[in-house]
Amino acid sequence: MTIHLSQALETRLRAEKVAWLTAVGREGKPYPTPVWFLWDGRSFLIYSQPQALKIRAIRNNPRVALHLNTDKWGSKVVVFWGKATIEQEGPSALQVPEYLAKYRQGLADLEMTPEQMAADYSAAIRVVPDRVRDE
């Protein structure tokens, strides 16, 4: 299923730096966590440390929510629901120049090289949304 997004939301997805990924653990508890992401027009690419709780939760239940921060008044709500997969043969962050360009300053602020980031955050998560709330 393909969702249709407004041009304004497409632009926002390319500019936003952080989204909140919520996966549900084995015990049914939701785990929201801030993540860096790359939107390609169909799916979100997220990198994670392989032993992170979100990886275990996604393996247990691939249904996730991903939402953007609101404005300071709680408006501009955007929530995506979809299916997440851990891409065993997914690209390394070093193979995705758009991702590295988007987070160049964030990596510098963390005093982390792209090579360190790719080594530490080696698990590629792909989220394909099937529903969106955009208000």
Record the tokens describing residue 51, joined without a space.
């032993």
> Quick check: 40 and 102 in contact, CB under 8 A?
no
> Quick check: 118 and 92 in contact, CB under 8 A?
yes
Q: Report the alpha-carbon distance of residue 106 to residue 19 in Å, rounded.
A: 14
Stated pTM of the model: 0.93
Record the tokens describing residue 89, joined without a space.
């043969």
In this model, does residue 117 exceed pLDDT 90? yes
Q: Report the alpha-carbon distance of residue 79 to residue 124 in Å, rounded.
A: 21
What tens digit of pLDDT does each residue of 32-91 get?
A: 999 999 999 999 999 999 999 999 999 999 999 999 988 788 778 899 999 999 998 889
What is residue 135's predicted lDDT score, i.e. its pLDDT? 78
Q: How far is CA 56 from the centre of its chain?
A: 16
Q: Residue range 1-20: average pLDDT?
A: 90
Buried b (16+ CB within 10 A) or exposed e, 97-129: eebbebbeeebeeeebebeebbeebebbbbbbb
Q: What are the φ/ψ torsions at residue 97 (nearest 5 degrees)?
A: -60, -30
> Quick check: 83 and 127 in contact, CB under 8 A?
yes
Q: Report the alpha-carbon distance of residue 54 to residue 83 in Å, rounded.
A: 13
Record the tokens describing residue 47, joined without a space.
């990198």
